Structure 1
Amino acid sequence: MRRILASSFFAASALAASSMPVAADPMADAKAIIEAHRAMPVFTPPGEPFDAKACMADKKVLSIPISMTIPFNVELQKAMASAAAEVGFTYTTWDNQLKLDQWVQGISQAISQNYDVVDLAGGLNPEVLGPQLAEARSEGLKISTTHFYDVTQPAVESVDYSGKVDFTGAGKLLAAWAYVQTEGKPNVLIIGSSDVLPSIPFVQSIQDQLKALCPDCKQTHLDVPVSEWATKIQSGTQSALLADPSINYILPIYDSMSQFVVPALRITGSEGAVRIASFNGTPFVLDMVREGQVEMDIGESLGWAGYAAIDNIMRMLCDKPEVAKLNVPLLVFDKSNIETAGVPANFDDGYGDAHLEGFRKLWMLK
């Protein structure tokens, strides 16, 4: 069924893309997209201020990340816990190692200990926990997701509020970058993972933006499930480069994929001629930008993301409107500013701290 849905999505998207207007000045449009993501992020309130401390008194939130063996999830949970501590309510991270029975145990714990919210964070798909979430809701708990859906995707019915991410915005930025850096002549290999739900609109946004900028330019899509990244990305990239030596840009949609792309460039003698740009701001990949192995990485501050996630969860409990997307800016890291990300890089440097003052005022903490 999932494959059928994905195929239907791609067919519909392809039909829509075929009628997409071509940019009047594609180079100017592409450069504008890039420049909009170079400036130091500023805080834009995601909604009206509210008295968070009063609203959240005696409230309890249990967050279940997809796995605490993933550094991304560890840092996101740290930030969410820090934000909750500032407001002053109980926040618990359910430690797990990517196992279904552990996620189920977490929901049972939330029910038995009278939590108010179960939050599924950092990629945990609520569809795999349908019966457990239904039980939680029958006991009066609310369900949220954090950093899972793209802004274009509706959440399933078992989810009350969803902290969505602008994956499609990142896709447009990646396409614009490849177009500008190749002086309007990109031949792009896009590497995606359609088994991760938001990857579908993410890849489609890259494809659509490239078509709008450059209808006749070539693009290829390599789809690799997450479980096969270590075994299939390098070989798939090598095959694509050997089949088409004119490929000049590779866009892995998640930057951790880059570690498997670089060896393929070396083996095929493509280093220098083929460049890489990606998304996430993972520290080891930012280090690869500093070392010249990756040209550009779109970063998102996990400190900012954690506060934005807590803001949306509190709005759910305080009867405030759900935010359309997590209030987290996307920032271009390349050779011009990569040192600001830290040496070695980390998940939070380089973005400034406008979110701290912004959320504190939004929550009426000062």
Structure 2
Amino acid sequence: MRTSLRRSDRRPLPRHGIATAGALAAAVVLAACGSSGSDDGGSGSSATGAASASPSGDALAATVDKLLEPTAGLPVPTTKLDGVAGLKGKTVYYIPITQQSSQFKIIGDALTSAMGAVGISLQICNGGANPTQITACVNQAIGANAGAIVTDAIPYALAANALGAAQAKNIPVLVTNQIADPAHPVSKTLGYVEGGGTAQLVAVADWIIVDSGGKANVLINGSTDSPSSQAYVQAAKDEFSDHCPGCKVTVNPISSANFPLIAPSTSSAILRTPGVNYVLSEFDQYLQPTLGGVQQSGKITSVKGASGSAQLAGLQMLASKNFLHVDAGQASTFQGWVDADAVLRLMLGKPLPTYDPVVRLFTRDNVSGLTLTAEGEASGEWYGPTAFPAQFKALWGMS
């Protein structure tokens, strides 16, 4: 069953102003990434069981049911790419916002494998969640006359001057896990692969609507770290507005720059909002302080936890039935190969196809059949078939 949420299935992304580089530097980001999630233990009905009570009826419940299953086939592009062999010997720089998140290690490993398959070296430079360090990584790539630069979860504005300088030297730049920056539109040297940030939060919203029978009172711990993280939260709010007029949604703004304040702010937000029965951590990186805040509020027995950017620690939390009831994840290994395809096309001056993110919902029910190990996570098997590396290589004429 298809588990990706295609752009055609959803309304256009909300329009948000792009923050200035100075503001972004003050709130360095770990956007579109995370670390853990979990599902329900009996304080509410199952997604299927609540379907008849959902204000959107069986259609929304069917969407949730699809998202609970692995996909039958991952959406590998169909447009073949000629000329890849001519890129052999080049070096591509991969700059994740930080290497502290396992998501970026998985994507980096996948990129390394994909680039190696076509004779390209991958150089990883840790952004360190620091604008100065990110700029230094970009400048290092420029100095090395890199074949291309791939950034991950880094708003363009955070290193705009350096990224512009790279393109001025005809070094293509691929920005991943971020919405496109309207101030820096797509060009022959600049491309975007949005990833699953929007799709994940919309999927969690759908699950909550169905699970609650259309009567959810949701507190979202929403990251203010970047325009993209704010857009993901807005997409979730729009989903509730469109499909659940009986639901109430409150956003508690949080930031990586003020990590120690997340737990007390969560507790305060819960106590200010009577009747909260779902607390959604936008990314798993905020899951532990979010849980801490729920505990501080004294509402742990009446609140269901939800999260996005599911990774191994999150699914292990689900399996142990600790706080979380649902976690949405993106197929990170597959995403690494998608990013490889996109950067190869940029390097060859070809337009990028539309890439559909692969997103799945995990609950306490469906997580039990998964191999909850680092190897299981890296294989991509949680999301569907694992033959996609061979499919990409065939697409590039390397098989």
Structure 2 Cα separation of the partners of residues 278 and 211 of structure 1: 19
| Aligned position for 2:184 | 156
Please tell me whether the aligned partners of residues 177 and 197 of structure 2 are also in contact (alpha carbons under 8 angstroms).
no
Deviation of residue 245 (structure 1)? 3.5
Kindly report which structure 2 residues correspond to 1:51-70, keeping only aligned pairs within 5 A, or say none: 51=82, 53-70=84-101
Q: Does 1:129 align with 2:141?
A: no
| Aligned position for 2:109 | 78
Deviation of residue 6 (structure 1)? 7.2
* Match for residue 182 of structure 1 among 181, 188, 212: 212
| Aligned position for 1:111 | 142
| Aligned position for 1:31 | 61
Q: Does 1:350 align with 2:379?
A: no
Please tell me whether the aligned partners of residues 62 and 110 of structure 1 are also in contact (alpha carbons under 8 angstroms).
yes
Structure 1 Cα separation of the partners of residues 317 and 183 of structure 2: 35
Please tell me whether the aligned partners of residues 308 and 327 of structure 2 are also in contact (alpha carbons under 8 angstroms).
yes
User: CA 1:209/1:49 → structure 2, altered by over 3 Å: closer, same or farther?
Assistant: same
The 3-state SS of whatever aligns with 1:43 is: coil
User: CA 1:358/1:328 → structure 2, altered by over 3 Å: closer, same or farther?
Assistant: farther
Deviation of residue 313 (structure 1)? 0.5
Structure 2 Cα separation of the partners of residues 214 and 268 of structure 1: 26
* Match for residue 102 of structure 1 among 102, 108, 133: 133
Deviation of residue 55 (structure 1)? 4.3
Structure 1 Cα separation of the partners of residues 75 and 111 of structure 2: 19
| Aligned position for 1:16 | none
CA offset digits 1:212-250 (Å, max 9, x no partner)? 122242111111112123x22221221222223411111
1:365 maps to a residue whose letter is: M
User: CA 1:29/1:67 → structure 2, altered by over 3 Å: closer, same or farther?
Assistant: same
Please tell me whether the aligned partners of residues 175 and 206 of structure 1 are also in contact (alpha carbons under 8 angstroms).
yes
Q: Does 1:256 align with 2:285?
A: yes
CA offset digits 1:12-47 (Å, max 9, x no partner)? xxxxxxxxxxxx961323212212212322122324
Q: Which runs of 5+ in 2 are unaligned?
A: 1-15, 20-53
The 3-state SS of whatever aligns with 2:383 is: coil
Residues matched between the structures, number: 342
Please tell me whether the aligned partners of residues 148 and 165 of structure 1 are also in contact (alpha carbons under 8 angstroms).
yes
Please tell me whether the aligned partners of residues 204 and 361 of structure 2 are also in contact (alpha carbons under 8 angstroms).
no
User: CA 1:190/1:27 → structure 2, altered by over 3 Å: closer, same or farther?
Assistant: farther
Using structure 1 for the length normalisation, give the TM-score: 0.85
User: CA 1:102/1:35 → structure 2, altered by over 3 Å: closer, same or farther?
Assistant: same
Deviation of residue 155 (structure 1)? 6.8
CA offset digits 1:94-115 (Å, max 9, x no partner)? 2453333333332233223221
| Aligned position for 1:364 | 397
* Match for residue 81 of structure 2 among 25, 32, 50: 50
Aligned residues with identical type, % of pairs:
23
CA offset digits 1:266-312 (Å, max 9, x no partner)? 33332242101211112212111111121111111221111111011
Structure 2 Cα separation of the partners of residues 335 and 189 of structure 1: 21
Q: Does 1:242 align with 2:242?
A: no
1:288 maps to a residue whose letter is: M
Structure 1 Cα separation of the partners of residues 261 and 132 of structure 2: 28
Please tell me whether the aligned partners of residues 308 and 328 of structure 1 are also in contact (alpha carbons under 8 angstroms).
no
2:372 maps to a residue whose letter is: V
- RMSD between aligned alpha carbons? 2.5
2:305 maps to a residue whose letter is: I
CA offset digits 1:185-223 (Å, max 9, x no partner)? 111111101222211221111111111122242111111
Deviation of residue 344 (structure 1)? 4.7
Structure 1 Cα separation of the partners of residues 304 and 183 of structure 2: 35
The 3-state SS of whatever aligns with 2:177 is: strand
The 3-state SS of whatever aligns with 2:179 is: strand
The 3-state SS of whatever aligns with 1:148 is: coil
Structure 2 Cα separation of the partners of residues 237 and 94 of structure 1: 34
Using structure 2 for the length normalisation, give the TM-score: 0.78
User: CA 1:43/1:273 → structure 2, altered by over 3 Å: closer, same or farther?
Assistant: same
The 3-state SS of whatever aligns with 1:165 is: coil
Structure 2 Cα separation of the partners of residues 132 and 271 of structure 1: 46
User: CA 1:27/1:256 → structure 2, altered by over 3 Å: closer, same or farther?
Assistant: farther
